């Protein structure tokens, strides 16, 4: 296609700066799970935005943090490796939180990257406009950014401008994905992520990030509906009790709200059956990380 532009853009930043919210806003539907807890994203989520004259493939990386277990090592290494595979990098920060030690770790990493880096100041709806300029000056003194762009991913403020800037700097290239494809992840992956999101949202602080969701079965029924069976894996028996809840109430709610999102994603009636299984210390066991979709050559 003549004059068509395309490229890959990594979104990097500390946990909970709004990377997944931005991705979902840009793509127009939920493909990355959202939670107010840190370190929600575990895998590189690729979101595809296709316009008449361009295609931008966004890579939402796990938040950079100090790893506490083998899964944490995997998450940080995944984010770091992404930087050398893309055309541009969005370094996203939280306007409300401002500069932190975790940002300096990322800035040091970006010093060695030969790619255009855009500073994206997210959540500007949470601060007074007078607070923005000092924040910009603080970061501009730490790295030579291609451009500094304040946005609110939640409200959509300035997001179109950011997309225009990115598109203007993309190279000419092919359309990598069909125009109706919004992610490179299979439906099964997105479904398990939607279930995991509901666990994080409904259990709050009672269940830390010690769960995985495994798809056991997905089949189409005669009436154009889908029957899905999945297992929520956790590390301790006490957590299993919390996940199931009194007379199964918590598990029912997780299933109810996950099913609503899955039906919106797939556009069909869904029957969702959930189980809970205990796998002690699974985040530090290589064979179980591999079984749950974390490639062994990355941790």
Binding-site residues for GTP, please? 13-20, 60-64, 122-125
Give the contacts of 151 (CB within 8 A, at least 6 positions apart). Answer: 22, 120, 121, 122, 124, 157, 158, 159, 162
Is 119 in contact with 145 (CB distance < 8 Å)?
A: yes
Is 95 in contact with 150 (CB distance < 8 Å)?
A: yes
CA–CA separation, 79 and 286 (whole Å): 19
Torsion sign, CA atoms 231, 236, 241, 243: negative
SS3 107: helix
SS3 14: coil
Give the contacts of 3 (CB within 8 A, at least 6 positions apart). Answer: 53, 172
Burial of 75 (0-12, 13-18, 19+ CB in 10 A): buried
Q: Strand runs (DSSP E) across 95-174, as ranges? A: 117-122, 147-150
Task: Give long-range contacts, CB 8 A cutoff, 24+ apart: 140-144.
Answer: 142/104, 142/107, 143/91, 143/107, 143/110, 143/111, 143/117, 143/119
Cβ count near 262 (within 10 Å): 20
Burial of 167 (0-12, 13-18, 19+ CB in 10 A): middle
Q: Which of 129, 59, 60 is nearest to 95 (CA)?
A: 129
Query: Which residues line the annotated binding site?
Result: 13-20, 60-64, 122-125
CA–CA separation, 248 and 241 (whole Å): 9
């Amino acid at each position: 296609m003549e004059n068509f532009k395309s490229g890959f853009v990594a979104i990097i930043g500390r946990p909970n700066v709004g990377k997944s919210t931005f991705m979902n806003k840009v793509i127009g539907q939920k493909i990355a799970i959202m939670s107010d807890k840190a370190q929600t994203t575990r895998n590189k989520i690729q979101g595809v935005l296709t316009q008449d004259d361009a295609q931008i493939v966004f890579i939402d990386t796990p938040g950079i943090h100090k790893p506490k277990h083998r899964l944490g090592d995997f998450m940080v290494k995944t984010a770091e490796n992404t930087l050398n595979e893309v055309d541009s990098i969005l370094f996203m920060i939280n306007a409300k939180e401002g500069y932190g030690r975790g940002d300096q770790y990322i800035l040091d990493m970006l010093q060695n990257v030969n790619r255009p880096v855009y500073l994206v100041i997210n959540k500007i709806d949470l601060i007074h406009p007078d607070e923005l300029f000092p924040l910009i000056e603080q970061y501009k003194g730490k790295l030579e950014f291609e451009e500094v762009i304040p946005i609110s991913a939640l409200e959509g403020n300035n997001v179109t401008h950011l997309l225009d800037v990115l598109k203007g700097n993309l190279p000419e290239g092919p359309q990598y994905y069909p125009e109706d494809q919004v992610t490179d992840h299979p439906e099964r992956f997105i479904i398990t992520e939607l279930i995991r999101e509901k666990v994080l949202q409904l259990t709050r602080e009672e269940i830390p990030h010690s769960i995985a969701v495994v798809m056991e079965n997905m089949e189409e029924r005669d009436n154009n509906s889908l029957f899905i069976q999945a297992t929520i894996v956790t590390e301790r028996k006490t957590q299993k009790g919390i996940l199931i809840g009194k007379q199964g109430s918590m598990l029912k709610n997780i299933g109810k709200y996950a099913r609503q999102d899955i039906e919106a994603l797939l556009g069909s009636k869904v029957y969702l059956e959930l189980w809970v299984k205990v796998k002690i210390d699974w985040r530090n066991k290589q064979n179980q990380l591999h079984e749950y979709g974390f490639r062994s050559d990355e941790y």
